[in-house]
Structure 1
Amino acid sequence: MGLFSLFKKADTLPPLTDDEQARLAANSELERQHQQARQREIARATAMKIDAIESAMEADIFNLPEPAWGSQRPARPAAIAGADEVLDDFPTTLLLSEELPLAAADDSAPVIEEIAILYANGQAAVAQQMLTEAVAATSGHNSDRSAWWMLFDLYQASGQHDAFDNLSIDYASTFETSPPSWQAPAQLAAASPGWAGLTPTAALSGVLDAHIAAQLERLRQQADASPVLRLEFSRVTAVDAEGCTLLLATLRQLQAGQRELILVGAPALAARLRDGIAVGRRDDGEAPWLLLLELLQLQNREKEFEHAAMDYCVTFEVSPPSFTPPHKVAMAPAQHVPASPDRFMLPPIIEHQLGPLLPGIRQYAEQYPALVFDCSRLTRIDYPSAIQLHGVLQALADAEPGRKIAFRDVNHLVTALLRLLGYASLARIYPHKY
């Protein structure tokens, strides 16, 4: 009998006696205690499995030679297979099931770290339930926002837009600040989901004028060799008509060539352009207006585009361009960090060891003294792969002391895992801003 059926028949059933109510309460308490015991058992088994994998990989994987570009992944060491056999008596399917009940946090480990490990190992439903409870515990008062940010990222990675919007309302009420905007990483990988590698970048800074021509020409030349290009506008301080003309021509050319674009700081540049123009004033010509319309179109902000197009029409007495939905364009939040060199973009999911990604990283390290890993697409890296990547980066750092390594635009679920595994001693980690 369902819960709602019980309510529907409440008018025909006699009320419970005191003895029946006492027995019901006792049974509920026993069930709660049984559930908690089962949760603790699952949490301990999860920790045992992770510890076994970690120790085995530390002992064996990092002593293996790295494969050549395009070669097959090396065979799994026997020690790691043995690590799985240790837990054969425990129902592993329970550990991986999305319907797994909430595992109680181990008293010796912070809940954030436990959530990061569960999510890394594919238990997103369990991680979401734990994050929901952690967020509820902090509602109503200002406190650490890590759980909120992790839950925002989980909703975006799994495409839960309505849940994200509901959490945004609670976030604004709790912290009395603007909530994050929806920027699902799935949108970043829509055009080339399995691609990873060097991402040519034009990081524009200072005055947007004729001096940007060389940077834009270099980006256009690299377009044939890379399916993904990145333009950063977050360090632009001013614009002039010639710079607007050059950038507009480049954006249109890259769009016509079906290149996937990642634009950083586009909203701020659009706002700067809007502040510099006025209806009826033609001093700087049409270029700033047309660049504004192009940026609004690339951001898929149709209503704002239509309003600006009408102002453009009134000012220059010409027909405005029509709105066309953007194709293969994604926005990334601005970072208050130095301008980026060419980045190595990581794929949406890294699991079952690094595979062909590993020689790609080695090749990148041979070409660039500073390594910048673009994590704007990365939604999840599993625990064994994160351990292996740590070992690779440690070897690169040891071989070249002083080498700078950075992870940019990292979601907060991955950030928590990287910090747990000691990445902060090797690299700078820049989680995306909320």
Structure 2
Amino acid sequence: MGLFSLFKKTDALPPLTDDEQARLAANSEAERQSQAARQREIARATAMKIDAIESAMAADIFNLPEPAWGSQRPPRPLRAADADDDFSGIPTTLLLTDELPLASADDSTPVVEEIAILYANGQTAVAQQMLTAAVAETAGQNSDRAAWWMLFDLYQVSGQQDAFDNLSIDYASTFETSPPPWQAMAAPSATSPDWAGLTPTESFSGALGPHIAPQLDRLRSLAGANPVLRLEFTRVAAVNADGAALLLGTLRQLQQQQRELILVGAAALTTHLRSNLAIGRRDEGEAVWLLLLELLQLQNREKEFEQVGMDYCVTFEVSPPSFTPPHKVAMAPAQHVSASPDRFMLPPIIEQQLGALLPAIQQYAEQYPALVFDCSRLARIDYACAIQLHSALQELAAAQEGRKIAFRDVNHLVTALLRLLGYANLARIYPHKY
């Protein structure tokens, strides 16, 4: 017998059973998936490292000793004391009580300031990238919300509703609270896109009935000479059939005339009306149902419009009105103070030079002891104009001792810029509330 015959395999291995083959295949697939997962994790870590390096490089760029636009940047003042911000002694038509939140000094972190400057100077894409990165860093942390609010506003002024909705989901999970609603800005009037000035305003309160007819007459009479009208429903407690019919007719007429409308508290009024209506019950009257449908249409809430329209159809056994997208309608949140009817509305964009805006503001200052600037349409003011406006307001404040100045309904991008430039030292800044 040869040497190698001693080690000769005498019995062949039995073939694998079907179960053994299945387990072997499953183990191979599991190992393959595990390796793929490890590769993805390595790639993700590498990408995060690259992002961190790029962010550090960007920070170094922004921290240069003298930015190109910084030669006119004034030193940042300390926030004025609350006593200096007191608006007591102002007539009730210029009520500036302290129930709305002031812009917080804590919002002025370095990254927020740099983003505010970039956005002010028209670099919206870069500002959006930086805001997205800032929000990602705070995701899952119940920390400062300034970057979130600025990004919400940027999405709204640029019409990015899908991105806004995605951010809303992250916001709700991060802060465990309801996200802000989408409120698209009204398109500027084609005949006067840069319009600015006193805004005719009608504030409705109590139970709306036949007594609102004079207010609506005044509103219609002013529509011809004013491209923007403001209607406030914050203090409305109820609406009867006569009041609903009057208001409905006026809203339809203003839409036909293509007037630009700013509706304050429309969402709250819509909720109130809807909660008091029931399918099959006609007690409130058909006009109240039609007013509810009109308000939903003005807010561009088509899905809810269709649902209420079916309820209206069943209740009154008539065909519901068809949905028509609103024309130049903007929404503003309900406020807890009486808004002044003498507010000076700023235009959607202020850039390059103040131009005719400055004489209009000076004329406004000659007529009113307190200056209330409505910023609900203001999407952006560039850096140079913001500095020029600050200087003009300083002169107006010095010309009349004790003059009070306020900025209302400011978006958070503009708020950050105004704080950076020292506006809080001479005016009260009320960003819109989220």
TM tier, shorter chain? 0.7 to 0.9
Report what 2:213 is aligned to: 213
* Alignment check: 8 A CA contact 2:62 2:114 kept: no
Deviation at 1:235, TM superposition (A): 1.9
Report what 1:265 is aligned to: 265
Deviation per CA, 1:4-41: give whole Å up to 9, x if none: xxxxxxxxxxxxxxxxxxxxx9xxx9999799567524
Q: C-alpha separation between the residues in 2 aligned to 1:295 and 1:119?
A: 33
Q: C-alpha separation between the residues in 2 aligned to 1:227 and 1:34?
A: 47
Q: C-alpha separation between the residues in 2 aligned to 1:333 and 1:48?
A: 37
Change (3 A) 1:307 1:164: closer
SS at match of 1:407: strand
* Alignment check: 8 A CA contact 2:198 2:342 kept: yes
Deviation at 1:178, TM superposition (A): 1.7
Deviation per CA, 1:160-219: give whole Å up to 9, x if none: 33322222221111011122222233x343655332222211121222223322322221
* Alignment check: 8 A CA contact 1:203 1:340 kept: no
Q: C-alpha separation between the residues in 1 aligned to 2:53 and 2:228?
A: 53
Report what 1:49 is aligned to: 68
SS at match of 1:225: coil
Report what 1:353 is aligned to: 353
Change (3 A) 1:420 1:188: same
With CA pairs under 8 Å and 6+ residues apart, which has the higher RCO, 1 or 2?
2
Change (3 A) 1:124 1:283: closer
Deviation at 1:368, TM superposition (A): 3.1
One-letter amino acid of the structure 1 residue matched with residue 219 of structure 2: L
Say how many residue pairs are matched. 355
Deviates more, 1:358-367 or 1:204-213: 204-213
Report what 2:324 is aligned to: 324
Deviation per CA, 1:211-245: give whole Å up to 9, x if none: 32232222111111111111111221222222212
Report what 1:282 is aligned to: 282
Q: C-alpha separation between the residues in 2 aligned to 1:317 and 1:309?
A: 11
What does 1:24-423 correspond to in 2, within 5 Å?
36=56, 40-44=60-64, 47-54=66-73, 110-185=110-185, 187-189=186-188, 191=190, 192-423=192-423
One-letter amino acid of the structure 1 residue matched with residue 376 of structure 2: S
SS at match of 2:195: coil
Change (3 A) 1:37 1:256: closer
TM-score, L = length of structure 2: 0.74
Change (3 A) 1:315 1:352: same
Q: CA RMSD in A?
A: 2.9
Structure 1 ranges of 4+ moved more than 4 A: 29-39
* Alignment check: 8 A CA contact 2:184 2:331 kept: no
Change (3 A) 1:139 1:401: same
Deviation at 1:258, TM superposition (A): 2.1
One-letter amino acid of the structure 1 residue matched with residue 326 of structure 2: P
* Alignment check: 8 A CA contact 1:156 1:183 kept: yes
* Alignment check: 8 A CA contact 2:197 2:345 kept: yes
Change (3 A) 1:313 1:394: same
SS at match of 2:344: strand
Gaps of 5+ in 1: 1-24, 56-107
Report what 2:430 is aligned to: 430
Q: C-alpha separation between the residues in 1 aligned to 2:235 and 2:400?
A: 30
Deviation per CA, 1:32-61: give whole Å up to 9, x if none: 97995675245416x443331346xxxxxx
What does 1:11-26 correspond to in 2, within 5 Å?
none
Deviation per CA, 1:58-77: give whole Å up to 9, x if none: xxxxxxxxxxxxxxxxxxxx
One-letter amino acid of the structure 1 residue matched with residue 351 of structure 2: E
* Alignment check: 8 A CA contact 1:335 1:432 kept: no
Change (3 A) 1:320 1:30: closer
Q: C-alpha separation between the residues in 2 aligned to 1:49 and 1:218?
A: 50
The percentage of aligned residue pairs carrying the same residue is 74
Deviation at 1:357, TM superposition (A): 0.9
* Alignment check: 8 A CA contact 2:197 2:360 kept: yes
One-letter amino acid of the structure 1 residue matched with residue 211 of structure 2: H
Deviation at 1:361, TM superposition (A): 1.1
Q: C-alpha separation between the residues in 2 aligned to 1:30 and 1:276?
A: 57
**Max Rg structure:** 2
One-letter amino acid of the structure 2 residue matched with residue 189 of structure 1: P
Q: C-alpha separation between the residues in 2 aligned to 1:230 and 1:30?
A: 49
Q: C-alpha separation between the residues in 2 aligned to 1:395 and 1:177?
A: 43
* Alignment check: 8 A CA contact 1:335 1:433 kept: no
Deviation at 1:249, TM superposition (A): 1.8
